[in-house]
A and B are shown apart, each in its own frame.
Chain A
Amino acid sequence: MQQADEVKTKWHAIYIALLNYFNPDDAADAANIWLNEFSEKPVFELQAFITKISNEYNLSVSRKEIQKSMIKMLLMDKSELLAQNVTNTTVIDKINNAKHQPVHIIFTKLILLWLYEVNVINPSAAANIRQYIYDSLANVEENFDQVINIKRWLNSKGSVSYIEHINIGQLRQIFHFCYVGSCEYIGPVNTDKLVAEIAQSLDQTPEGVAFSTKNFF
């Protein structure tokens, strides 16, 4: 279990390092090459992995530079990696801080990072949680447009404008549906751990200081 966690964390670190040179889909594919072929090999095999992906993707960047950024990420602890995610523009790339209230920005970051992290643990679980949120919302929400907007928001990479008219009570409800879905598909222990870690990282950002994630719990 601990070993599996360690591999996941390393995958995560390599993926974030690769995001500097690849688009998100290619970065995930390249990180999966590491997972399938190199994750059980000794550390010095990282060089062979970098050579392989540089050749396969015709990368012009120096291999030394990739290796340096990869090692930097691998040496980070898990909470620092999460903080990297929080500021990572490719995970959440459409947030415009100037236009929106901190409440909507922080909520968007919270939920999208949550689903992103679930995706790392179990890709099908993230899709199932999204589906659970739609279904639950469709059951309680009378305003159909609202549900459609939330669906679009969940599928976007941070388009806060979809939820800018939603009040705190409704945001709490979305959070709760996400929590229940997450408990169902990745288990309550993983869910509590994940939410606590993400919330802790987000509360250190300027939006988190302005509006704490605790308000959604």
Chain B
Amino acid sequence: MRIIITIFLFFSQLTLVNAAELTDQLLNLKESIDTVWVVTAGALVFFMQAGFALLESGMSRAKNAVNVLMKNYMDVAIGSIAFWLIGYGLLFGNNISGFLGTSHFFLHDENDMDYSLLFFQTMFAATAVTIASGAMAERTRYHAYLIGAIIISGVIYPVFGSWVWGSLYEGKGWLAQLGFIDFAGSTVVHSIGGWVALAGIIVLGPRLGKFSPDNENRKIPGHNLTLVALGGFILWLGWFGFNGGSTVAADTSIGLIVLNTHLAAASGAFGSLLTVILARKPILLTDVVNGSIGGLVAITAGCATMEPVYAIVTGLLAGMVVILSAKILELMKLDDVVGAVAVHGFAGAWGTLAAGIFLKGNMFDLHQILFQLVGIMIAFVWAFPTAYLMYKIIDKTIGLRASTEDEQRGLDFSEHYEIGYPEFQSEMIHKGK
């Protein structure tokens, strides 16, 4: 009998050891899969930079194409380093006060998952930075723009981000404590970028001749609509990583998130189409592409927390918001080359509100809607004046606006001494420099 008991105890011990080992192995495997997903999603978000570059360059005139591409290229480069140095710490570092992260600057000697997260979040910072570049295209001095890009990725974006997402290590952002929700950044990334862009275009003023002396808004068409459409498709694809990757884990909720993302983009395009048809205006490719991006921006806040039917409503209304807000900006004589303020600022604000209205299990809750409104307003109150002050200081010190001579020649030549299409622009090559 004693022998039987001994054998039983031996085998039960063995099973327990095996179960613990198995659990460890499963946890390791899950972490590995999470890492693969987060890094892949980060790469998709990085690819969005190509989308922005094509879209913005296509919407600009040929004489400024290289300048726009150069801004997008350096946004990623400079923005990434600034975010690693200071931005990540401000955003995700220990946040006892709820107002600012105070640790994890120039991240090193941390565990593997932190590095994956830093990589993923760096791409978010680059996205926030690049939004302003399109709005301010064709008349901004390159060096001045880059200084702005460093401050956006290093300070303006992470500070607001810490109020909402700053609970990774210790503490919690004060807006998050209040109940404000923004899953992947309709406000944290996009509206912030949009309001920065708004400040930029106010300080810069419109392009030469954009508004006639009798206040007529003159269309200045972009040079390559094929690039615009291709940029739109790439952004659409990249957004699956932007929203899907924000789970920061490879779990089953990704299916709903990417489905909502896709449906909102589709309905955003349809919403903008419907608006121009109802307004009896021509159906422009640029409006439809901007409508779909507006849908993507809007669903970013609530893609994980609403049913697909509401994702469609969110996207549809975002498409309309994009067209109408762009019109309002035109009436205010604000020259936004690519419509970034409408797409990221206004559609982002609407999407954040929609995330509160259509919150699964708690729909139409007035408290939640109020928290969302507070968050939206705080984002504007933080980003717009700060960016306005920043661009004003840059303008007064080194100069933000390119000279009219440079605008005449095109920034490709005056800022970079190279042009995008030498075969076709030979008559515009200036010989005096």
- Residues of chain A touching chain B, judged by Cβ–Cβ distance below 8 Å, are 128, 172, 176, 179-180, 182-185, 187-189, 191-192, 196, 199-200, 203, 212-215, 217
Contact = CB atoms under 8 A, between A and B. Distances in A.
B399 to A, nearest CB: 18
A184 B405 CA distance: 14
B432 A172 contact: yes
Given A176-B405, A179-B408, A180-B408, A187 B212 contact: yes
B220 interface: yes
A22 to B, nearest CB: 33
A191 B207 CA distance: 13
Interface stretch (B47-55, B156-164, B382-390, B422-430): B422-430
A76 to B, nearest CB: 21
22 contacts: A176-B405, A176-B408, A180-B208, A180-B408, A182-B209, A183-B208, A184-B209, A187-B218, A187-B220, A188-B207, A188-B218, A189-B221, A191-B209, A192-B61, A192-B63, A200-B427, A214-B427, A214-B428, A214-B430, A215-B432, A217-B429, A217-B431
Contacts of B426: 214
Contacts of B219: 189
B212 A185 contact: yes
10 tightest Cβ-Cβ pairs between the two chains A and B: A183-B209, A188-B209, A187-B218, A183-B208, A217-B430, A179-B408, A199-B427, A187-B209, A215-B431, A180-B404
Contact of A184 (B61, B213, B430, B431): B213
B283 to A, nearest CB: 16
A188 B208 contact: yes
Contacts of A183: 208-209
B392 interface: no
Interface of B: 61, 63, 207-210, 212-213, 218-221, 404-405, 408-409, 426-432
Contacts of B63: 192
Contacts of B212: 184-185, 187
A188 B427 contact: no
Contacts of A215: 431-432
A172 B430 CA distance: 11
Nearest to B208: A183
Given A187-B218, A188-B207, A214 B408 contact: no
Nearest to A197: B427
A190 to B, nearest CB: 9
A196 B409 CA distance: 12
A188 B432 contact: no
A84 to B, nearest CB: 20
A188 B210 contact: yes
Which of B207, B408, B428 has most A Cβ within 10 Å? B408
A185 B426 CA distance: 26
Contacts of B209: 182-184, 187-188, 191
Given A180-B408, A188-B207, 19 more contacts: A176-B405, A179-B408, A180-B404, A182-B209, A183-B209, A185-B212, A187-B218, A188-B208, A188-B209, A188-B210, A188-B218, A188-B220, A189-B218, A189-B220, A191-B209, A203-B427, A214-B431, A215-B432, A217-B431
A167 B177 CA distance: 69
A187 B213 CA distance: 10
Contacts of A199: 427
Contacts of B218: 187-189
A213 B427 CA distance: 8
Nearest to A1: B219
A25 B340 CA distance: 49
B408 A196 contact: no
A214 B429 contact: yes
B404 A196 contact: no
Contacts of B431: 212, 214-215, 217
Nearest to B413: A217
Contacts of B432: 172, 215
Nearest to B218: A187
A72 to B, nearest CB: 28
B212 to A, nearest CB: 7
Nearest to B61: A192
Contacts of B404: 176, 179-180
Contacts of A196: 427-428
A116 B218 CA distance: 22
A191 B218 CA distance: 12
A67 to B, nearest CB: 36
B186 to A, nearest CB: 34
Contacts of A203: 427
A188 B410 CA distance: 12
Contacts of A128: 213
Nearest to B404: A180
Nearest to A184: B209
B284 to A, nearest CB: 14
A214 B237 CA distance: 43
A133 to B, nearest CB: 14
Contacts of A212: 431
A213 B219 CA distance: 27
Contacts of A180: 208, 404, 408
Contacts of A187: 209, 212, 218, 220
A128 B214 CA distance: 13
A180 B208 CA distance: 7
Interface centre among A203, A214, A217 (most CB of B within 10 A): A217
Contacts of A213: 427
A79 to B, nearest CB: 12
B255 to A, nearest CB: 46
